[in-house]
Amino acid sequence: MNGMRRCRKIFDVLLKLITMKKLIYILLLGMASLAGCSEDNPVPSLADTPSLTEFPDMTKPLIAAYKNDYDVNIIYRFNDSTDFRFALGDKGSVTNWKKLEIKQLSDASVDYGLKMLDSLVLKYFKDEVEFRGETFRPDFKRERFPRKLFLVDSLGGGYSSLGQTISELNDAESQGYFSFLWNGFEPMFGFNSTLLATATSKNIQKYRNSALYGFLSALFVARGVYDEFPAAFFEPVADLYGTSVNELAREEEAEVYKNGPRYYYLPEWYMSKGFALTNNSPGSAYGVETKYTTALDTARTMTFPLRERDFRNMLHVMICETNQENIRNYFRNDVFIGRMRILIEEMYRRGIDVFAINPAAEEFFND
């Protein structure tokens, strides 16, 4: 009997040792797993080391200048999946990003792509710029530019919903290409030599405007630059953010006019509140050339934009409204003029030469 008890005790001790050993292994495994999952929502490191060690190509003057002067890497050879598509977001956006077709520059077209990037985008960001008698010397490119600018031949594919999150501009989209995309962290510019070589000067300007609008709106929002604007830019319209356009129009008995089978509110009434009309905000216009007169269909449910979209709409007008008559007819009210003047001055304070982009914008300063 005593021998039996002794054996049972030995067995219990061995079982405990085995169990403790297993527990130790489990704890070690758990700690290792936790070490690899220390971030609930891991994000890119944003390190400026590209996946291919030979880039950026410092033999190209523009690339060398931006690297040396601003620590910005212009990259035209990369892995588009790991270097650009990593910021996929939710399932819906993953589906759209998969449709994106990225065509990288051939060796023969690299110099052309760099020339277009400089002449259509980068040249408007200056280290010294004058505005109404004042000289600004900002360090905007070094302080606020993304560390990488991706340059490709073309950005195409059936991804219209993806494009709508970037731009309201109706530029080269009808030909299946975009000039700019933003993945949430970095920009990609596409300059297709075949497309641009056959484009009219007006279409090239639209292509440029789309790239500038996309880059500025993404950069100013993602980096919080527009949060640095004076309060006087947002305060005049803040109370209307997200509220009903239709209800306010009825309360104020806004004038309605008939055009074909539809009825519209006057664009002057909407803009008198200090907001800008664009192709898709607050409604969709019927035809690009008549976007103001057909933007406010009374049969649609419309809301005033929120803060971010409001900024983007103002930016859109600043860059793209090249018709001085439109500016005089639709934007000549104190609230809108005051806001646009603040926006333009804030751009100049950051070295962005607005009047070089759009000479018609000077009309906003004509009394």
SS3 of 337-353: HHHHHHHHHHHHHCCEC
Q: Which long-range contacts (CB under 8 A, 24 or more apart) does 121-125 make?
A: 121/189, 121/208, 121/211, 121/212, 121/215, 122/62, 122/66, 124/212, 124/352, 124/353, 124/356, 124/357, 125/351, 125/352
Report which of residues 67 and 37 the model is more confident about.
67
Write a three-state SS string for 248-317.
Answer: HHHHCCCCEEEECCEEEECHHHHHCCCCCCECCECCCCCCHHHCCCCCCECCCCCECCCHHHHHHHHHHH
Mean pLDDT of 320-335: 87
pLDDT digits (tens, 9 = 90+) for 105-159: 999 999 999 999 999 999 999 999 999 999 999 999 999 999 999 999 988 765 4
Q: Does the pLDDT at position 237 exceed 50? A: yes
- Name the one residue in this structure whose structure tokens are 């009808």: 174
Instruction: Give yes or no for residue 31 having a pLDDT over 80.
Output: no
**Does pLDDT of 180 surpass 60?**
yes
Highest mean pLDDT among 127-131, 189-193, 259-263: 127-131
- Burial of 182 per CB tally in 10 Å (0-12, 13-18, 19+): buried
| Pairing of the two strands 262-265 and 129-131 | unpaired
Which tokens go with 260? 């074909």
What integer is the mean pLDDT of 81-105? 71
Top pLDDT among 97 and 164 is at 97
Asked which of 146-150, 169-173, 185-189, 246-250 is least confident by mean pLDDT, the reply is 169-173
186: tokens are: 């970095």
Instruction: Please say if the pLDDT value at position 96 is more than 50.
Output: yes
The mean per-residue pLDDT over the stretch 278-297 comes to 70
Q: Is the pLDDT of residue 162 over 90?
A: no
Q: Do 121 and 215 touch, CB atoms closer than 8 A?
A: yes
pLDDT > 90? residue 12 = no
Average pLDDT over residues 21-43: 42
CA distance 258 to 255: 10
Residue indicated by tokens 């030469």 = 353
Share of the chain above pLDDT 70, in %: 74
> pLDDT category, 171, cuts 50, 70, 90?
very low
pLDDT of residue 149: 96
Instruction: Mark 314-330 as b/e (b = at least 16 C-beta within 10 Å).
Output: bbbbbbbbeeeebbeeb
Of 83-97, 115-129, 252-266, 345-359, which range is least confident? 83-97
Provide mean pLDDT across the span 206-235.
Answer: 93
Residue 282's pLDDT band, with cuts at 50, 70 and 90, is confident
